[in-house]
Copies of this chain bind each other. A is one copy, B any other.
Amino acid sequence: MAERGQRVITYAEAIREAFVQSMERDERIIIIGEGVPDPNAIFGTTRGLQKRFGAERVLDMPLAENGMTGICIGAALGGLRPVLIHQRIDFALLSMDQIVNNAAKWRYMFNDQGSVPLVIRMLIGRGWGQGPQHAQSLHALFAHIPGLKVVMPATPSDAKGMMIAAIEDDDPVLFIEHRWLHGIRDHVPEQYGSVSLDRAVTLRQSKMVSEMCVTIAAFSHTVVDAVMAADILEQCGVAVTIIDMRSARPIDLEPVLASVKETGHLVVLDTGWASCGVSAEVVARSVERGFSMLKKAPVRITPPDHPIPTSHYLTTDCYPGAKAIVSAVFDLIDPRKTIDNINIVRDFLSDGPKDVPYKTFTGPF
């Protein structure tokens, strides 16, 4: 985890730094994707790489998601270590065949005689009217498939460390970034170093002074919501433990169970739909393994079960944030509490537009 004293950079810069340091170390790494060398440079994350590492290792590509995924698998089997990038995870649906039928199974079906060291970065869009086909959080589709690793770092230091680990990994890793995390700044180690792909982490743990306590297990950008909610909840006397789940496959339940043992209450947050989502899996496993520790049924907080409309007027309730979390926690630990009669909440939660990551953001996106 990030430590004080390290210099502060954004999530996007952290990914870029992971690329630079990895590529310097290992000549076999190539970066490929629509727009990788272009002026936008995948929201800055690939800026300058082509100049530095040459056009043979840093490549744009045709619009051909399934074909290019297969080509990257072939290149990986041939000794390269490709990182393939999709600017929206929605585009990756075109390549489900190659990801699920080939990448996920190559090592297994050929009895360990080959592996696919391929990283596929997929960005989850949100806000500024991304709409039904550009704002999906589809990671659960991949988390269902044995043979894949599916990580969703939420902090800049994890973004760097997990990208390095993903590139070092000999198996296919889907590296899923929420677009709204890119601007987040935090302390990030300067040196090359990996963060393991299969460990959830306790991000924050407030001291329990009463029975009012809760465990929040959060994926990706919902970690940000969880932190905001925890600020509010703590001021209301609720002790909150936030587990940044980090990975959707494998799911590391240990810190969740350890915390639930103390709190007895679990809230699971995800950016993806509930049904057959990673939130369902966390609930199912928590119950299977921690039934007797739970005082009440775990609660899932996820987007509602419909596509995301474009109009910002319509998306008000599509991205449940801190407010929804606080409400859910109140319901769980003390149903008499309501969010409306707590002044502190109003101070925390702005009524500004909900379709931008921060107030000064302007479109287009």
* A residues with CB within 8 A of B: 66, 90, 93-94, 96-97, 100-101, 104-105, 108-109, 131-133, 136, 138, 140-141, 143-147, 248-249, 251, 272-281, 283-284, 287-289, 291, 294, 296-300, 305-307, 309
Copies in the complex: 2
Contact in complex: B277, A144 (CB < 8 Å): yes
CA of A287 to CA of B288, assembled, Å: 10
Which of A143, A147, A288, A299 neighbours the largest number of chain B CB atoms within 10 Å of its CB? A288
Q: Collect the chain B residues with CB atoms within 8 Å of residue A96's CB.
A: 93-94, 96-97, 141
Shortest Cβ gap from A299 to chain B (Å): 7
With A66-B94, A93-B100 as contacts: A288 and B281 at CB distance below 8 Å: no
Contact in complex: B273, A276 (CB < 8 Å): no
The 25 sampled A-B contact pairs (Cβ below 8 Å) are: A66-B94, A93-B100, A96-B96, A100-B136, A105-B133, A108-B132, A138-B144, A140-B144, A144-B272, A144-B273, A144-B275, A144-B276, A146-B275, A147-B306, A147-B307, A248-B276, A251-B275, A274-B284, A276-B278, A279-B284, A280-B280, A283-B288, A284-B300, A287-B298, A291-B296
Q: A146 contacts which of B109, B138, B273 (Cβ < 8 Å)?
A: B273
Shortest Cβ gap from A89 to chain B (Å): 11
